[in-house]
Structure 1
Amino acid sequence: MNHLQPVHPGNTAQLAEHLRRSATSGTRLIIGLAGPPGAGKSTIAEGLSRHLGQECAIVPMDGFHLANTIIEGTELRERKGAIDTFDVGGYLSLLARLRLNEEDVVYAPTYRRGLEEPIAASIAVPKSIGIVITEGNYLLADVGPWGRVRSYLDEAWFVELPSETRMSRLIQRHVDSGMDPAAAEAWAQGPDEANARYVESTKASADLIIKYP
């Protein structure tokens, strides 16, 4: 599926069928969903998973956020969510293990909103899983070791959402996680928007654009 013509996000059944056809017996398919904060990557991944059922596992890049104990008291705390506030080495190691598929089960971390911390070994990916969907902001970044992420992905899709809607979603997400509305808006328009502009600059290397009208 190599084209950049936008696909409507409601077509998750069609996209899931494409993945099912692309997965060959004995070979694991790894699909990356990239896009700016609040674009709907997790929603798309969950939609695909509903159609694919037991064939699929979702492994978020967000599980590799640096823990608050690491960034507290540093300038990284004010930029949490930026590309250098993730353990890219750990993420690459996980992708390599998922690609090799030699272990009975690979355990991956997730990120707990509200707690705002990664949780280790909270997603189980058995050897039998034929399709892995990994989603995150920086899957198409080409700076430093991030440039190696793309080599582990069979396809990379980019999710877009109109900026006004995306901003509203982000603000509500931060409020739901415990921020007061003013702080939530400031964070969404500050660090989140800076990250979004960078992520948007990486979309040219995507195989497919999933775009909300």
Structure 2
Amino acid sequence: MSTVEELAATIVDRAQHSRRYLTALAGPPGSGKSTLSEALAAALPPGSAAVVQADGFHFDNVLLDRLGRRAWKGAPDTFDCRGLDFLLRRIRNSEPDVIAPVFDRTLDVARAGAVMIGEDVRHVIVESNYLALGTGPWSLLRQHFDCTVFIEVPRQELQRRLMSRWLDLGFSADAARQKVEGNDLRNADLVLSQSRDWDLTWRPCDPS
């Protein structure tokens, strides 16, 4: 895939016989999942698409502190994976007006009740690092998806983007580097080594 429009056209073609079509966007942290999900939703037929962020199912920092996992926020076990599974089942069943949370990165909190997925929404785009994992509880979510798109970005570029993310959020260079090297890149390496059997590959650096 070289353009968002081509990706959207492929999904529309695959979804022509589906009442509701769920597309998973998977890839390591910093690969551009949020950017691609919004661009893809805009490229699909007007009013037909909604985006679900699995980051909305982050454990709250208070719970992470209690579990001793605050420093590893973003690792696979720091999400309410079963809660996401339940939401996807409701979406898959085309229940009316399903409500989903979003994650506010600036505030570092999940906001409940932020997105409504109406009964008339045909395309639901779900984005997360871990939607293509081949083992563990995240792999059980794959039953809900009609298509999985994996975003490939060179590891060096991931590191650059992740550093920029934390610096933009006001972290010092040392604190940003600790975040990236101590947690983000570990999660990236997990995604890169354990993701399996996706349907389409998206390379943001492809010429457009």
TM-score w.r.t. length of structure 2 = 0.93
Q: 2:94 aligns with which of 92, 101, 104?
A: 101
Gap runs ≥5 in structure 2 = none
Distance 1:66 1:37 in 2: 17
SS of corresponding position for 1:107: strand
Question: 4+ residue stretches of structure 1 with deviation over 6 A?
Answer: none
Gap runs ≥5 in structure 1 = 1-6
Q: 1:169 aligns with which of 149, 153, 161?
A: 161
**2:33 maps to amino acid:** K
Q: Does 1:87 align with 2:80?
A: yes
Map 1:112-123; keep pairs closer than 5 Å: 112-123=104-115
Distance 1:90 1:73 in 2: 19
Q: Does 1:110 align with 2:102?
A: yes
Q: Does 1:133 align with 2:125?
A: yes
Q: CA RMSD in A?
A: 1.5
Cα displacement (A) at 1:211: 1.6
Distance 1:72 1:190 in 2: 17
Q: Conserved in 1, the CA contact under 8 Å of 2:133 and 2:196? A: no
Cα displacement (A) at 1:186: 1.5
Give CA-to-partner distance per residue, 1:102-132, whole Å, 9 cap, x none: 2x20010000011111111101110100000
SS of corresponding position for 1:108: strand
Q: Conserved in 1, the CA contact under 8 Å of 2:134 and 2:195? A: no
Cα displacement (A) at 1:78: 1.3
Q: 2:134 aligns with which of 142, 153, 156?
A: 142
Q: Conserved in 1, the CA contact under 8 Å of 2:28 and 2:191? A: yes
Q: Indicate how the Cα distance of structure 1 residues 26 and 208 shifts in structure 2: closer, same or farther if over 3 A, else same.
A: closer
TM-score w.r.t. length of structure 1 = 0.90
SS of corresponding position for 2:74: coil
Tell me the number of residue pairs that the alignment of Structure 1 and Structure 2 aligns.
Answer: 204
Q: Conserved in 2, the CA contact under 8 Å of 1:114 and 1:178? A: no
Distance 1:99 1:73 in 2: 33
